[in-house]
């Protein structure tokens, strides 16, 4: 399973992205939950981050502060561990 996260916005407007390829069931379960949650609240906050989470070609979009717990966990893990 290929998971890609793209983060844009924020105070400095710096884009950051990372991608991981996983076979671990914990990662896969988290990714399936994120896809099931679908697109998040489209209203953001000034200087907040916007995210595109792509799992095997399916993309969901969400914005701070309206991320679900699963979205926030996946975004954090991918940006930390991905290349």
Residues paired with residue 63 on neighbouring β-strands, in sequence order: 50
State pLDDT tens for residues 12-63: 889 999 999 999 999 999 999 999 998 876 778 888 999 999 999 999 999 9
The whole-number pLDDT of residue 4 equals 98
The whole-number pLDDT of residue 13 equals 87
> What whole-number distance in Å separates Cα of residue 20 and Cα of residue 14?
20
The whole-number pLDDT of residue 43 equals 78
> What whole-number distance in Å separates Cα of residue 81 and Cα of residue 13?
22
> What whole-number distance in Å separates Cα of residue 19 and Cα of residue 66?
22
Domain residues of the chain, as ranges? 2-81
């Amino acid at each position: 399973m290929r998971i890609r996260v793209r983060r844009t916005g924020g105070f400095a407007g710096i884009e950051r992205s990372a991608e991981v390829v996983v076979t671990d069931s914990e990662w896969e379960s988290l990714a399936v939950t994120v896809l099931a949650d679908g697109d998040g609240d489209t209203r953001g906050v000034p200087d907040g981050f916007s995210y595109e989470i792509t799992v095997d070609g399916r993309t969901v979009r969400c914005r701070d502060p309206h991320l679900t717990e699963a979205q926030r966990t996946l975004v954090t893990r991918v940006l930390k561990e991905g290349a």
